[in-house]
Amino acid sequence: MSHPPLASGPEGPRALRPMLDTVLRALDTGARARGGPLPAGGPQSVTARIRQAAGDILPDQGDPHALRTLVHAFTETAADPAHPRCAAHLHCPPLAVAAAADLAASALNPSLDSWDQAPGASALEHLVAQALSRQIHGTGQPTAPDSLITTGGTESNQLALLLAREAHGGTVRLVCGANAHHSLPRAAWLLGLPDPVVVPTPRGTFDPSALDDALTAQPGPVLVAATAGTTDAGYIDPLPEIAARCADHGARLHVDAAYGGGLLFSDRHRPRLTGLDAADTVTLDLHKLGWQPVAAGLLAVRDARDLAALGQRADYLNAADDTEAGLPDLLGRSLRTTRRPDVLKLAVTLKTLGRQGLGALIDQVCARARDFAALVAEHPGFELHAPPVISTVLFRPADATDATVAAVRRSLLTAGRAVLGRARLDGRLWLKATLLNPATGPDDLAALLHLAAASRATLVEGHTPR
């Protein structure tokens, strides 16, 4: 009895080649059919298009054209982060070399829960984890740093709280700023920890004096969570001052640098992260300022001994005699069991571009953000919130209500013309442009602002956008 071809093995490459041609053609035709950064028509239109393409998703008899049909529809109804007018979220356009490497990971399908499922992948993960931990914590630490590959900031932040809890004997209180990512208080809830102490951040960043007051009033073990790159405006907390307050009070420090951590690769912007190496744990996402396909997260630890808390024993995966005989024990490298080899795309990217290549991309998107902020500041119809810290620009139509700002964004989404985010700061709603596409040029920035202006004119003044 014949069976569908497999992706690996002796016949794998031969079977994949025509399918890859089909996928690449469907990516092209789907993008042309979309014609913009996202599909026009809104949720109902997109749902109808997907339903039409999918038909009976589990038919009695298979459809040999399903790959072409569904990839085309998937592309036609996608929000394409590589489009210069797709600038809402920390959702990067992945590098082609990283996506190509990801194909090999999918085809070979190693799982990093035991060495015999992932011999080379486990060795490669160790090399990458060590290299990235050195970028974050340096080489002059009194303890040996390490890092874990995660699915992203949410998992990394959860792990940071778990390690802090275990380091303090089973209990810890989270102290964070009001600017902290929502995953941190959520992780405290998930782990059964006390309600977090949330310190107001009226200026967008942690006030060290307010933190000092909060730590003075807080008995018991504490984990302070600072942020290097907030999701609303890209703000970076004053890390050296926060680290000093933590040292004074004996508090453990975690820095959520999911967004801003990528600045480490840039000689120009790296100084903004001074003090990061003092953190006990650090979150970094390379599917943000690292141009990786999702998922590509990291949790770095200053002291690798903290990771002992994650150790588990399952005889079929890491039997004691196997470990004693020299087979690496991988269960303590994650809370997950089956674990995809996301390390391959990271390794290929780091090796291909090097620190200078990644740094150049970071410098470029940060420069584009400054350029866009200058366009906004010069435009009489818009108000700029502040100069960008990283690559996020907040702006809004001048003299507009919050309802108008929200409507401008939704009208651009529904028309499929531009993808802008939203952020509430200083009691007002702002449009958010998060510029992560290094190929974006001056004309693209001008077009994005023109569309926002035209949308506002249509909503408020009844003009027709051109």
Secondary structure element (H or E) that encloses residue 210, with its range: helix 208-217
pTM listed for this prediction: 0.95
Would you call the peptide bond into 295 cis, given omega within 30 degrees of 0 as the criterion? yes
Secondary structure element (H or E) that encloses residue 256, with its range: strand 252-256
- Would you say residue 261 has pLDDT above 50? yes
Tell me the average pLDDT across 314-318.
95
How would residue 1 be classed by pLDDT, with cut points 50, 70 and 90? Answer: low
How would residue 462 be classed by pLDDT, with cut points 50, 70 and 90? Answer: low
- Would you say residue 466 has pLDDT above 50? no
* pLDDT on residue 461: 63
**CA pair distance 317, 311, nearest whole angstrom:** 12
- Would you say residue 359 has pLDDT above 60? yes
Q: Tens of pLDDT along 52-91?
A: 999 999 999 999 999 999 999 999 999 999 999 999 999 9
Mean pLDDT of the chain: 95
Q: Tens of pLDDT along 196-221?
A: 999 999 999 999 999 999 999 998 89
Cβ–Cβ < 8 Å for 262, 284: yes
- Would you say residue 46 has pLDDT above 70? yes
* pLDDT on residue 464: 42
**CA pair distance 236, 283, nearest whole angstrom:** 14
Q: Tens of pLDDT along 113-122?
A: 999 999 999 9
* pLDDT on residue 20: 97
* pLDDT on residue 460: 73
- Would you say residue 192 has pLDDT above 70? yes
